[in-house]
Chain A
Amino acid sequence: MIELDKVSYGFGGTALFSQLSLNLTAGSFHFLTGPSGAGKTTLLRLCYADLRARSGKVRLFGQDAATLDRDAVALARRRIGVVHQNCEFLDHLTIAENIALPLTVSDRGGEAAQNLQELLNWVGLGAQANQLPPELSGGERQRAALARAVIMSPDVIIADEPTGNVDWEMSQRLMRLLAELNKMGKTILIATHDLHMIRAMKTDVSARVLRLRDGQLLQAGADL
């Protein structure tokens, strides 16, 4: 699905990581952990072509991301549902409109009506459909972001700290939703620093845990 092959990236003259490889195969579940500033968000952004690698190759669905034009990047992103750390909503649109946005921009707005209410109920936001994003709590926003990420039935779901702003109970609920999607065959990549949550989830899904530290991406071991 998504493959990073000996990828390097940095800001200014400083290298954040180099020669980093990652392969997200179909139906896999990955946790990405590591200390703040290690480059987790940057790594995720490389995975959905929001950033371009300095060297190495990023392959999205078998295509070299460096060779994709802007339209092709947009089309690839329709196959990747992203839950952003700060949710990235359009504050002038209702929650229902925000969730339906990927369908709207794909000129598939007509499909939204039938799936939307079901999806809102699935994430427990049926009653908040017509509220604006600033009117929602952190947990509600995270669930709405997850609903938006899955509305296109993408092949890959990438979530950046999806439980960052929510309590333990809500984080468990969100993770169960992601585990459910993985069981439906979706490829999942979650960046988080919440090791308790990873430990709790390992009983539900067969997940690989990767640790990004000092520019190296390593398989987490028994110390987790």
Chain B
Amino acid sequence: MKALLELILGDPQADRAVPPTGMTARLTVFVAAVMAFLAVITLAISLTTGRVAEAWAQELAQSATLRLPVDPQTSDALLLSALDVLETTPGVTSVRALSETEQQALLEPWFGPDLPLESLPIPQLIEIITGGDDYDADGLRARLSAQVPGAVLDDHTSWRAPLLEAASRVRLISWSVIILIGATIAAMITLAAQASLSANAQVIRVLRLVGARDTYIARAFVRRYTSRAGLGALVGVVVGIGATVLMPQGGSGDSILIGVGFVGAEWLLLVMIPILSAVTAFFATRAAAFRRLREQT
């Protein structure tokens, strides 16, 4: 805590004791910016994937489709019977038989707009909207098999499970990438700090000879690399936000697509990137500096 306070307050004279390191400084800022940019994009993808998966799962979880068997002789009776069963099922909030036009629209992507639906054996579909905890899909299936033989209830479980699994994997990969980005920043800062410490071996020797403690010498390097990593990451975050704004933002209305980006408290994660980058640099440089000081003098 004391070290952090001294780092924030700084000491211009102490900073001047170590000569400026031009190219290393610029490279550190650049790499931190690139890493932060990648972190923003990865976060955006991860969070958006999570939101999309959740929205899809929620919509699919609250709906089911009943497919009636194709039989022109009994279709009307089966429809009435099915509607009767559904309307008396607890947890079912609305039931609606899809019109021919709606069914045609569903098939249009695969068969084109001129599909003669009336001449094809297309099963009647019933959209079921559920709500509440008392909805029991297995109980409904049992009743339907008794009263509407041949009807198939699809509660979208087979859709939802792989969708949620895929979303979960994407998020896991994204967070792994973010951890790797953090490790890369730490490794890069360590290398840069070590190079700088080696280049300033004579400066360090003189400082030690006039009574400088390791903490004092390390502080000058730590302060430098912490501020560079923080500044670079800030630039990377700003550019990353710009990039997410330019990404497709999805459809409007009741579209299931959600735009790539950040919502609500997710923005706080972006604030954390420069802070975490600086904290990573602080510890990486401090460890490298003390290790090198012990070796060097």
Question: Top 3 closest A-B pairs, CB basis?
Answer: A105-B212, A78-B211, A77-B211
A82 contacts across to B, CB distance below 8 A: 209
Q: Does A101 contact B (CB under 8 A)?
A: yes
CA gap between A84 and B202 in the complex, in Å: 14
Q: Does B146 contact A (CB under 8 A)?
A: no
Known: A93-B17, A97-B16, A105-B17. A88 touches B205 (CB 8 A): yes
Contact of A101 among B11, B17, B213, B214 (CB under 8 A): B17
Range of interface residues on B (Cβ < 8 Å):
20 to 34
Known: A92-B19, A97-B16. A106 touches B214 (CB 8 A): no
Whether A102 pairs with B213 at a CB distance below 8 angstroms is no
Known: A70-B214, A71-B214. A90 touches B209 (CB 8 A): no
CA gap between A75 and B293 in the complex, in Å: 16
CA gap between A48 and B205 in the complex, in Å: 13
Counting chain A CB atoms within 10 Å of each CB, the highest count among B16, B19, B211 belongs to: B211
CA gap between A92 and B208 in the complex, in Å: 17
Known: A92-B19, A93-B16, A97-B16. A105 touches B214 (CB 8 A): no
B205 contacts across to A, CB distance below 8 A: 88
Interface of B is mostly: helix
B208 contacts across to A, CB distance below 8 A: 74, 77
CA gap between A136 and B18 in the complex, in Å: 21
Given contacts A74-B213, A77-B209, A105-B17, 10 further A-B contacts (CB under 8 A): A71-B213, A71-B215, A78-B211, A84-B209, A101-B207, A104-B13, A105-B14, A105-B211, A105-B213, A109-B13
Whether B213 pairs with A90 at a CB distance below 8 angstroms is no
CA gap between A152 and B293 in the complex, in Å: 24
CA gap between A27 and B269 in the complex, in Å: 64
B212 contacts across to A, CB distance below 8 A: 74, 105
Q: Does A50 contact B (CB under 8 A)?
A: yes
B142 contacts across to A, CB distance below 8 A: none
Whether A90 pairs with B206 at a CB distance below 8 angstroms is yes
Known: A88-B205, A90-B203. A105 touches B19 (CB 8 A): no
Q: Which residues of A contact B (CB under 8 A)?
A: 48, 50, 70-71, 74-75, 77-78, 82, 84, 88-90, 92-93, 97, 101-102, 104-107, 109, 148, 152
Whether B207 pairs with A105 at a CB distance below 8 angstroms is yes
B17 contacts across to A, CB distance below 8 A: 90, 93, 101, 104-105
Q: Does B210 contact A (CB under 8 A)?
A: yes
A88 contacts across to B, CB distance below 8 A: 205-206, 209
B135 contacts across to A, CB distance below 8 A: none
Q: Does B175 contact A (CB under 8 A)?
A: no
Closest to A75 in B: B211
Whether B16 pairs with A70 at a CB distance below 8 angstroms is no
Query: Mind listing 6 A-B residue pairs with CB under 8 Å?
Result: A48-B209, A77-B208, A88-B209, A101-B210, A105-B211, A148-B210
A106 contacts across to B, CB distance below 8 A: 211
A72 shortest CB reach to chain B, Å: 10
CA gap between A101 and B203 in the complex, in Å: 12
**Contact mask for chain B residues 253-279; partner A; CB cutoff 8 A; 1 contact, 0 none:** 000000000000000000000000000
Closest to A48 in B: B209
Whether B13 pairs with A74 at a CB distance below 8 angstroms is no
Whether A105 pairs with B216 at a CB distance below 8 angstroms is yes
CA gap between A83 and B147 in the complex, in Å: 105
Closest to A148 in B: B210
Closest to A154 in B: B211
B292 shortest CB reach to chain A, Å: 13
A54 shortest CB reach to chain B, Å: 19
A71 contacts across to B, CB distance below 8 A: 213-215
**Contact mask for chain B residues 206-232; partner A; CB cutoff 8 A; 1 contact, 0 none:** 111111111110000000000000000
Whether A50 pairs with B209 at a CB distance below 8 angstroms is yes
Contact of B210 among A75, A102, A107 (CB under 8 A): A102
Counting chain B CB atoms within 10 Å of each CB, the highest count among A50, A77, A93, A105 belongs to: A105
